[in-house]
Chain A
């Protein structure tokens, strides 16, 4: 499903070269529920952005569904992000000018060509399932953090992606709400068979995943 072969990412910080990710090889299978663990500065965010195709590796190969994506153009990468990958962020990153429903529908606006499902129906189903249908015409700043994160997850799911990448999804939430969000992600993995990758530094959350990938501090290795 997702294969990393000897992937490195080197940042140039002034005179110094920082090897945020160093020759990482990974294989994440379809339907896996896995966590990427590591303290801050260990390069786990960089690894996540590489898997999420937001960044290009300095060397090595990233293969998704058998295709080498390291050499794709911006348009092709955007298309893969649009159709195959859903992002959930620590700070929700909803667009404050748009309502809940409009936020969920946003990925569909960037799809070239027709979709084979009714996007409005799908958005409403997701909102109903996550218990925030009544809030569909609210603006993000009028609903709670937990609700905002559900909206973000609905937005990540609207295109039926095969992978959901969640970057510290509970970081801005209290323990109780955080647990609910983690349960929600678990259920998506079980019921829909979506591959879920959670990036976190909290051991409790990582312990609930089926597979844990640890990033070692300073070396950028797994």
Chain B
């Protein structure tokens, strides 16, 4: 699959930053000129946005794709339930949609139930005619796919596309098709205003960026955890010193070394778990904001990991001050002023 996108994009030395932003917006004329290039099997104009979809009182954020019927061939999509839309649906601007299974579940409870129902977004009422199988890819599973001509109007008044996807009949033709599309589009646009890339190039590029981002985030997170842990340790040392006399009294009335150790360990544990809880609340609020633009959620796994790590930090950094408290000699502690 070859992608025609705005911006100087991925194949320029200026790097990723220049891509996706600015550049041209393609229209139907570009799509038809691309489709006439020799070796091109499918041409799919692609309109994309995020919408708040609603049905029967349920609401969810989804990716809206405006495409033609070749999209399903290009993506190797089949309907799990119902059917896909056809060429005549596209030309007649039919108000029909094929949706991802996650959207179906959020709006109608389950996949099969969605067929024949109506979904509303951006002031349009669209009939669900098909549901595509779950792939685990969140963008795919939270998509609503409709004929691109149906987007013309309230959703896409400029009748433009974000990209044009091209399917090539045989692998050997890819380079020549790329060259040919480039020369066709160069008649309308400057060469810096668009880019032609294979899907695999983009994928590896994006994966690389996310890998680096992940490493940076994990590094920052680990440093924060160590700094936070040392903070807890200092607070606990201060607490132990401040309460030395109290520890002496407790030992006098029968507390064992273990009692004192557990008491201070519990305190540092409560401190750190409370920190973890605050972090989760912060993350939830962030996710709530991000949800307006992209589908996002916090997994149960993340919650469990948060509590596990914050408890671990509390115990690890709490053990040293707690041990000092437990090992104080009772009489020295009582005499401490």
List the interface of chain A (C-beta within 8 A of B): 49, 52, 54-55, 74-75, 78-79, 81-83, 87, 89, 93, 95, 106-107, 110-111, 155, 159
How far apart are the CA atoms of A124 and B258 in the complex, in Å?
Answer: 29
User: In whole angstroms, how far apart are the Cα atoms of A211 and B164 in the complex?
Assistant: 106
B252 with A110: CB separation less than 8 A: no
Measured CA separation A87–B245 after assembly (Å): 14
* Given contact pairs A95-B246, A110-B259, A87 touches B330 in the complex (Cβ within 8 A): no
In the complex, chain A residues whose CB is within 8 Å of the CB of B251: 54, 78, 81
Give the residues from 221 to 252 in chain B that come closer than 8 angstroms, CB to CB, to chain A. 245-246, 248-252
A54→B334 contact, CB < 8 A: yes
Size class of the contact patch on chain B: 10 to 19
In the complex, what distance in Å separates the CA atom of A54 from the CA atom of B330?
6
Q: Which residues of A contact B254 (CB under 8 A)?
A: 78-79, 81-83, 107, 110-111, 159
Known: A78-B251, A95-B246. A89 touches B256 (CB 8 A): no
CB contact under 8 A between A81 and B252, given known A54-B330, A55-B330, A110-B259: yes
A157 to chain B, nearest CB (A): 11
Determine if B220 is an interface residue (Cβ-Cβ < 8 Å). no
Kindly supply a per-residue 1/0 record for chain B positions 85-108, scoring 1 wherever the CB is within 8 Å of any chain A CB and 0 otherwise: 000000000000000000000000
Contact of A110 among B248, B250, B329 (CB under 8 A): B250
Whether A54 contacts B253 by the Cβ 8 Å rule is no
Q: Are B334 and A81 in contact (CB under 8 A)?
A: no
Give the residues in chain B near A74, CB-CB below 8 Å.
256-257
Closest to A52 in B: B252
Would you call B206 an interface residue if the criterion is a C-beta within 8 Å of the partner chain's C-beta atoms? no
Question: In the bound complex, do residue B253 and residue A95 qualify as a contact, i.e. CB atoms below 8 Å apart?
Answer: no
CB < 8 Å neighbour of B255 from A78, A89, A93, A155: A78
Residue of B nearest to A87 (CB): B252
Q: B329: which A residues are within 8 A, CB to CB?
A: 55
Closest 3 CB pairs of A and B: A82-B254, A78-B256, A110-B254
Residues of A within 8 A of B252 (CB): 52, 54, 81, 87
Closest to B329 in A: A55
Please judge, given known A-B contacts A74-B256, A78-B251, A110-B259, whether A93 and B330 are in contact too, CB under 8 Å.
no
Asked if A93 and B258 make an inter-chain contact with CB atoms under 8 angstroms apart, the answer reads no
C-alpha spacing A75/B251, complex, angstroms: 11
Is B331 an interface position by the 8 A CB rule?
A: yes
On chain A, the residues within 8 Å of B257 by CB distance are: 74-75, 78
CA distance A137 to B329 in the complex (A): 32
B-side contacts of A81, CB under 8 Å: 251-254
25 of the cross-chain contacts (CB-CB < 8 Å) are A52-B252, A54-B334, A55-B329, A55-B330, A74-B256, A74-B257, A75-B256, A75-B258, A78-B251, A78-B254, A78-B255, A79-B254, A79-B256, A81-B252, A81-B253, A82-B254, A87-B253, A93-B334, A106-B253, A107-B253, A107-B254, A110-B250, A110-B253, A110-B256, A159-B254
